[in-house]
Amino acid sequence: MTRRSSSDLPHGGTAFGVTLRSLRRTARLTLEELSQASGVSVRALGDMERGRSRGPQRRTVDALATALDLDHEQRQRLQRLADAGRERGGPAAPPYLLRTVPDFTGRRRELADLEALAEGAGTRAVVLFGPGGQGKTTLAAQAARQLTGEHFPDGCVSVQLHGMSDTPVPPAEALVLLLTALGHPPDRIPVDPVAREAVYRATLSDRRVLVVLDDAADEAQARPLLPDAEGSFVLVTSRRPLTGLEGVRRIRLGALSGGESVTLLERILGTPRTDGQADGISRLAELCGHLPLALRIVGNRLSSRPAWTPARLADQLADEEGRLGTLVAGDLAVRGALALSYRQLTAPRRLLLRRLGLLPGHETGPHLAAVLTGGDDPVAVRDALDLLVERGLLEEPTPGRYAFHDLVRLFARERLRAEEPAPPVEAAALRMADWLLRSASAAGRWFEAPGADEPWPGAPPAFAPASAAAAEEWLSTERAHWAGALRLMFEAERHQEIVHTARTLYWFSDRWGTWPEWRTLFTYGVRSAAALGDPAAQAHQLNCLAWTYSVGGARYEQAEEHARQALDLATEAGDRGQQGWAWTYIAGACMRLDRPAEAARAAEEAVRLFEATGDRAGQTVSRRVLGSALRESGRAEEALAVHRDLLGADAGDVPGFQEFAQAILRHQIAGDLLALGRWSDAVAAYRAVVTPATHGGTDRFKAQALSGLATALEHCGDTAEARARLAEAHRLFTAAGDAAAAERTAAALDRLAT
């Protein structure tokens, strides 16, 4: 059997003709009798039944329906088939499913999986599913080309089911198209749909045919078109996984990889247009989100504009609000592909999709999504999110977390602006921001000393973690959201709530010192405290900001500047506690800026203030900094005494801080012994250093301890282990992004290798 596609046949006309003939025979009328009853000529009726007339006009169909005494449903069905015939009239389209593209790129794993399934026993159907624009039809065409012949010697037939249109092809009509394409005489196709299915499966059972069902709407449309367990093989493409189908395998189609995206653009454009344009092409691939449809549009647009460079088009696409409008080339449009799925949603699910465009972060869970829609049932919202995943409008990167493709996010925001007035949208955004900061405050209280203030009241109720582990997980998972909510709350002049959140997350921030969100939080904290006219609160936030510049960014000049501003404000407010923290951060910055004597004086002042206020945590930190400053000033014996005196000291009642402080102290003591040249004692001390389990992001801490251990080992003559520890330290410094430390350890490794 040769390759055929139902696109080579008169789609609507054949279906209309078969249906008309079935209805005429059911009514026990000859052509002449129907002609007389309807006023339609015998010749015209014959042309209709033979498929030569693709779609008669409405008045003709009305006359036939009246003559056949059809009920309302039958009349509507006949009319729809006639309308479809006219819409699909004209010259037969090329066999679109079997028309492969010469620049087909990637999808090696999917093609290999399809080939393995075609060769294997048992599985006779595969659903190739994924969001719109991922190239499912193109991949099906490529698979048909590669598999037909050796694997399917009886050829390939295909039908477009128009699942995403307003008028999907009914299974009974699709069966007519497929049976005709398989060579079954139209006048012998049964009228009864069940009998028609039986003939179809019998036709496939003794052949090796590949059947491609493109763009299936749902299980009900695809199920009657599946084969029996033996013989032919069906490849279904759909935006949905069609989870209700039995005995099928599913392959999800996602975006191309970065390399595949670049290769596709290069193949579309050709070598002369891509030489020396690597950066521009890479930018285009990123801005397209590696979506094949978007990449095809971009490539086609550049091909039609010889004077344009990839960089120029990338500059246009950089504007998020205009990106979807730019991703159009002729009848190809990303917006149109997404709109097909959007139109099939119910109104509440459209609302959910639109409102998700307000999210500051990339992923969400059901609770936050419910806040956006004003719903109070996260379970129902989760079901709606799952449906959006099934429809290809959301992704589920991890169980229970839902995310947009970048271009779908832009589409959702477009629909939000177009379909909803500003007041309810602004109210939803502020409700979300308020809930996020209340929830962050509730979670942060798990890491504060007992008695920390509770979050302000509000609706819906804040997330209430049942344990410190749950609180830490929520703060980590949702950090892009609660950090993004700060801008909305600041613009709404909710300054008291921002300062409250920043205070409540104060000690938790110490556990994940390198998070960039801390600088955002404490910057807004400073601005809100200033707006409230509260110098003590402003001093506290400036001290926190100084900490972020020191610990999280190694920008010690800025850290000192913020700490000195905090000192002035704390002095003005008479807040000795914040004066103590300001001197502590000044000391740390001075030490890093190679001013150890000045650092020691600042630390001594901090110790004096913390002793006066009775702040045990502050005393622990400031005395540790004092010891480090003494060591860097050449006073290592004094430093060792200060640090050893702190071992076992009460560091206060902040959860987890005692363990953390002791781990840091052991590291400092090892450094003191190293500075004193007590090599074997330093080796033992460094081996006793334990990474603080209560704090994350400890790669730099481990690397510093390993680097010190390597130095002590080298002086003890154990160069082999010294090299091993340096290599490990280099890996950790590199992973932590500390380029300067990585460079120093690399140089030390080179020295030991000679």
Angle between helices 258-269 and 292-303 (to 10 degrees): 30
Closest alpha carbon to 411 in 294, 498, 491? 294
| pLDDT tens column, 176-203 | 888 888 888 877 888 888 898 999 988 8
| pLDDT tens column, 380-420 | 999 999 999 988 899 999 999 999 999 999 999 999 999 99
What pLDDT score was predicted for residue 182?
A: 86
CA distance 187 to 18: 7
Q: What is the 3-state secondary structure (H, E, C) of 498-516?
A: HHHHHHHCHHHHHHHCCCC
What pLDDT score was predicted for residue 600?
A: 96
- Identify residue 737 by its one-letter amino acid code: G
- Residue 97 tokens, joined: 């499913």
What pLDDT score was predicted for residue 5?
A: 40
Query: Global pTM?
Result: 0.81
Helices (H), 304-402: 310-317, 320-326, 334-343, 347-356, 366-373, 378-390
Distance of CA 680 to the CA centre of its chain: 51
Distance of CA 467 to the CA centre of its chain: 28
What value does the mean pLDDT take over residues 80-104? 60
- b or e along 359-387 (b: 16 or more beta carbons within 10 Å of the residue's beta carbon)? bbbebbbbbbbbbbbebeebeebbebbeb
Compute the C-alpha angle 77/80/85, nearest 5°: 130
Closest alpha carbon to 665 in 687, 682, 690, 693? 690
Whether 433 has a pLDDT exceeding 90, the answer reads yes
Q: Is 559 exposed, middle or buried (0-12, 13-18, 19+ CB in 10 A)?
A: buried
Phi, psi of 688 (to 5 degrees): -85, -10
Whether 614 has a pLDDT exceeding 60, the answer reads yes
| pLDDT tens column, 599-612 | 999 999 999 999 99
| pLDDT tens column, 493-518 | 999 999 999 999 999 999 998 899 99
Closest alpha carbon to 731 in 700, 697, 709? 700
Choice among 523-527, 562-566, 570-574, 645-649 with the minimum mean pLDDT: 645-649
Q: Is 120 exposed, middle or buried (0-12, 13-18, 19+ CB in 10 A)?
A: exposed
What pLDDT score was predicted for residue 506?
A: 95
Whether 91 has a pLDDT exceeding 60, the answer reads no
Closest alpha carbon to 586 in 617, 542, 553, 537? 542
User: In sequence order, what are the beta bridge partners of 364?
Assistant: 402
What value does the mean pLDDT take over residues 665-670? 94
Choice among 341-350, 498-507, 541-550 with the minimum mean pLDDT: 341-350
More confident of the two residues 161 and 188: 161
Instruction: Calculate Rg over the CA atoms of the chain.
Output: 35
Helices (H), 206-289: 219-222, 258-269, 271-274, 278-287
Compute the C-alpha angle 207/211/215, nearest 5°: 165
What pLDDT score was predicted for residue 86?
A: 62
What pLDDT score was predicted for residue 84?
A: 66
Residues 612/624, Cβ–Cβ less than 8 Å: no
Look at the chain and count its residues. 754
Kindly indicate the confidence band of residue 96, based on its pLDDT and cuts at 50, 70 and 90. very low
| pLDDT tens column, 26-54 | 788 888 888 888 888 888 888 787 776 66
What pLDDT score was predicted for residue 1?
A: 36
What pLDDT score was predicted for residue 430?
A: 97
Residues 293/135, Cβ–Cβ less than 8 Å: yes
Q: What is the DSSP string of 473-501?
A: HHHHHTHHHHHHHHHHHHHTT-HHHHHHH
Closest alpha carbon to 81 in 176, 159, 8? 176
Residues 310/280, Cβ–Cβ less than 8 Å: yes
